[in-house]
Amino acid sequence: MPSHLKKLVAARMEKTGESHQQALRQVRAQEDRLRAGAPNVGIRQERLARSRVVADTAFSIARVRAQEGSRGEGERLFEDPYAHMFAAVDEQTLESTQRYLDLPFFYDGVRLRTRFIDDAVRDGLAAGLRQLVLLGAGFDARGLRMPEIRQRRARVYEVDTGEQLSRKRKMLSAGKIEIPASVAYVPFDFDADFETALSDALVKKGFRPHAGALFVWEGVIGYIGSDEIDRSLRFMASIGGPRSRVVFTYAESTFDPESAAECTRRAGFTTCEEVAADELWRRYLGGEPYEHAHVMKIAIATV
Ligand SMILES: C[S@@+](CC[C@H](N)C(=O)[O-])C[C@H]1O[C@@H](n2cnc3c(N)ncnc32)[C@H](O)[C@@H]1O
């Protein structure tokens, strides 16, 4: 199977909790739709169309987080009063947003990972980390919504494409939300050079290399290639320095034939704790987990 297809299947498994076979069938259908919608386009245009789809998934995630507010107080796994501001921008995005929301494990998968990562951020802050880097930030509003970040005087660096960050800025501004000085937007495409371009961009916004950082890589690695995963991990371990951590979501087949622990170790991390969503389900929701929940995984690796 071509490696880009393998990545798309893993990303879909992570998102939906579908088996490998089910995810492969859906991905093939999606690829066919993509080609049918844009026949005879070059590789660059096809890549752009695909990255647009990835950027648009952020809207579905925001819808899940917005809905959390309508649950009873004892039932909520997190608070995100900003999520409702990120409403799909056009008919096509609305349609793809709904397609994700109709998947059987999408809601609970996003709820569980959001809560787990919130807890990981609180732990990182309690351990003394004061730099939080959201890689592929999308409409993640942790920099606005988590009081612990402000209380600990931590700084948040949101890394995403320029286009996605400017959409985010516009929607927050339409809701009359001012972005605080503790939150910096860092436009960057993961295709560019991490060691120079991202490093320079972060430092320009005040990031202190080797002073320790917590990287959040949520719902992203399923969309990038193995080389980009390796480069990103090496970059995080080296620019963050001692005590740095990364928390990331993936599907159980993402690192095949390696494991997440082996891959992070090669990049300079020393420990890697993995947890599957069926365990998170028992921890946060109680009761019997959705049958394929185990395919979605989260890990925390520490330098
Ligand atoms: C599925 S969304 C997840 C957003 C966010 N982490 C969350 O969980 O709410 C993936 C994000 O990664 C960003 N992304 C994907 N490929 C990227 C690339 N090559 N360079 C920069 N950002 C990218 C997309 O723009 C999108 O905002």
**CB under 8 Å to 183, separation ≥6 — which residues?**
143, 144, 155, 156, 158
Q: State whether the beta carbon of 248 lies less than 6 angstroms from ligand 1.
A: no
- Work out the angle at residue 108's Cα, subtended by the Cα atoms of residues 63 and 169, and round it to the nearest 5 degrees: 30
The protein residue whose alpha carbon is closest to atom 14 in ligand 1 is 136
Dist. CA 86–CA 57, nearest whole Å = 11
The string of pLDDT tens digits covering residues 101-116 is: 999 899 999 999 999 9
The string of pLDDT tens digits covering residues 169-210 is: 999 999 999 999 999 999 999 888 888 899 999 999 999 999
At the second CATH level, the architecture of 1-303 is 3-Layer(aba) Sandwich (3.40)
CA of 60 to the centre of ligand 1 (A): 12
What share of the chain has pLDDT > 90, as a percent? 69
Task: Compute CA distances 217 → 28, 61, 141, 297, whole Å.
Answer: 26, 14, 14, 12
Q: Which atom of ligand 1 approaches the CA of 191 most closely?
A: 19
- Which element (helix H / strand E) includes 7? helix 3-16
The answer, yes or no, to whether residue 11 has pLDDT greater than 80, is no
pLDDT of residue 53: 72
CA of 55 to the centre of ligand 1 (A): 6
pLDDT of residue 35: 45
pLDDT of residue 176: 97
- Can you give the residue ranges of every domain in the chain? 1-303
CA of 273 to the centre of ligand 1 (A): 23
The protein residue whose alpha carbon is closest to atom 19 in ligand 1 is 190
pLDDT of residue 151: 96
pLDDT of residue 108: 96
Q: Which atom of ligand 1 approaches the CA of 139 most closely?
A: 9
